[in-house]
Chain A
Amino acid sequence: MSGEPKVLIRNAAKIYGGTVVLERLNLAVDTGSFCTIVGASGCGKSTFLRMLLSQELPSRGEILVDGIPLPPEPSPDRGIVFQRYSVFPHLTVEKNLMLSTELERTPWTGRLFGRKREAARTGVAAILEKIGLARARALYPTQLSGGMQQRLAIAQALLKRPKLLLLDEPFGALDPGIRADMQALLTDLWREFGMTVFMVTHDIHEAFKLGTRVLVFDKIRHDPDAPEAYGATVTYDLHLNGKNRRPIPDPRDLITAPGTTKTGVSPHA
């Protein structure tokens, strides 16, 4: 890896109509990192991902990828998996996966026919197999279980080989048993594709299990007279690596209640 970080965030903030949601975000993330993001509900984790996706623009500061400021709208170099509504309900599993090829090849109709269509169909066979949906290829998303839908969503997000993969609580609605399978699949794909991942989760065990880096978002500055004056920021930035796995801290030590001081874990591993 060169010295330049993949993602560089400089003093970014997001303000919604006078309410500061996020502030003082400063972060340098290396290529191939798997950043997991935890924090209290409503503290701005989704907002952070939306800024990385250019669905929202930072109110202050800047975000650079490979040293270049982000474009002002979503683009194929950043893939996204939402908790819901990630796949197209009007397309079957297979067609959901073929869509990006069809869009690439046919600017006007957005559809392939005949032999080219068959080629595109063959092209997604491997990924269908990999995510275990080969036998469900002709089903519509509503006919799939939650886990199957999210597997499809992850596969679809990776089709354009994005440099960044963003996931917003992708397994939040799944049963614990299925979750473990999904985590394994995601880790596999991350190793295979080598992209940089940002994943929001509300499960701190998941954050430590999957991440090479755990970012804790929290609101530490409070003005009792003006609760909107300050927003959340990254309060803990924990670098994990295989050799140096530490016990998973208690969430209560990471995310403070207003007015208390932090003890327990020291920032930066």
Chain B
Amino acid sequence: MRIINRKPSRLTAFTLGLVPFAAAIIAYAAASHYRRLENPDDKLLPSLSDMAAAFARMAFEPDRRSGDYLLWVDTFDSLQRLGAGMGVSVVFALSVGVAIGFIPHIRSTLGPFASSFSLIPPITILPILFIIFGLGETSRIMLIVVGTAPVMTRSVAQAVMEIPRELIIKAETLGASVWQMMVRVVLPQILPKLITAMRLALVPAWIFLISAEAIASTSGLGYRIFLVRRYLAMDVILPYVFWITLIAYLIDRLLLMLSRRAFRWHHLQGESL
């Protein structure tokens, strides 16, 4: 049979999916092993057990200076910033995006400005944010907002405009006011697409979170990895990177699950990533 027509069974598919992970771990372990044979104090490729030990120390031993369990404090602080930033973005994207997508006069007014604004590289705004909001929490959260709100607004506006005109007209013939059309037709139709937009926006959101924490912060996952970088503490950095990836993955899956649960009608139509 041609290779394009051969489909793996579920078990095979699962096993195949594990292979690259196993290969990467084995390759790393081997490289680390041989490097440390040459120089037992090598910091660049710490052994898996060293990393596990460092991770356990961060997670389960109180910090000598502050008495905090650093991993959890970092995680909590970062997630709080990420949540606040994404929350503001979502509210902004929904209100402005729906208005732009649904009401032609608002689209004409804000459309060109929004498109131009979304082209500003957000990180260039960071110094401006620091000047306006100071080096505190607001600046870090605002950077995430500036980095994610414009694209999400655009996705929402696009999704609103993609609603078949027939449905809007149908709502008009059923006597709906503009507000009622928004809450009963437009909003329910775009919410699944908003979740997709959120999942995509989480990638830049993490980038801006880590950047903001690296530049000006005294806590957070990004702060930690840039702090220990000074001591070449790869045994902390690598598990932290893994930990951040794991959290990002879990949030993504959680949003997908939420979408499948709450918007079953949308997922009945097929496509889902």
Most chain B Cβ neighbours within 10 Å, of A88, A90, A104: A90
B164 within 8 Å of A by Cβ?
yes
Q: Is the CB of A140 within 8 A of B268?
A: yes
Q: Is the CB of A142 within 8 A of B177?
A: no
Contact of A76 with B173 at beta-carbon distance under 8 Å, contacts A109-B183, A111-B184 already known: yes
B contact residues around A142 at 8 Å (CB): 265, 268-269
Residue count of chain A within 8 Å CB distance of chain B: 37
A84 within 8 Å of B by Cβ?
yes
A110 within 8 Å of B by Cβ?
yes
9-residue interface stretch from A157-165, A180-188, A237-245, A260-268: A157-165
Minimum CB–CB distance from B195 to chain A (whole Å) comes to 14
Q: Is the CB of A53 within 8 A of B169?
A: yes
B175 within 8 Å of A by Cβ?
yes
Cross-interface CB contact of A74 among B172, B265, B269, cutoff 8 Å: B172
- Which chain A residues (123-176) contact chain B, with CB distance < 8 Å? 140-143, 156-157, 159-160, 162
Q: Is the CB of B169 within 8 A of A89?
A: no
Cross-interface CB contact of B177 among A73, A87, A102, A107, cutoff 8 Å: A107
A11 within 8 Å of B by Cβ?
no
Q: Is the CB of A160 within 8 A of B173?
A: yes
Cross-interface CB contact of A89 among B172, B183, B184, B269, cutoff 8 Å: B269
Cross-interface CB contact of B173 among A91, A102, A141, A162, cutoff 8 Å: A162
A75 within 8 Å of B by Cβ?
yes
B176 within 8 Å of A by Cβ?
yes
A contact residues around B188 at 8 Å (CB): 90-91
Cross-interface CB contact of B185 among A75, A88, A100, cutoff 8 Å: A88
Contact with A along B173-191 (1 / 0, CB 8 A): 1111101100111001100
Q: What is the chain B residue whose CB lies nearest that of A81?
A: B170
B contact residues around A78 at 8 Å (CB): 173
In whole angstroms, what is the CA distance A90 to B167 when docked?
11
Q: Is the CB of A74 within 8 A of B169?
A: yes
In whole angstroms, what is the CA distance A231 to B231 when docked?
80
Cross-interface CB contact of A103 among B164, B174, B189, B269, cutoff 8 Å: B174
- Which chain A residues (75-118) contact chain B, with CB distance < 8 Å? 75-76, 78-80, 82, 84-91, 99-100, 102-104, 107-111
Q: Is the CB of B172 within 8 A of A73?
A: yes
**B-side interface residues toward A, CB under 8 Å?**
164, 166-167, 169-170, 172-177, 179-180, 183-185, 188-189, 263-266, 268-269
Q: List 9 A-B contacts (CB under 8 A).
A: A85-B166, A88-B167, A90-B189, A91-B188, A100-B175, A103-B174, A103-B184, A110-B184, A157-B173
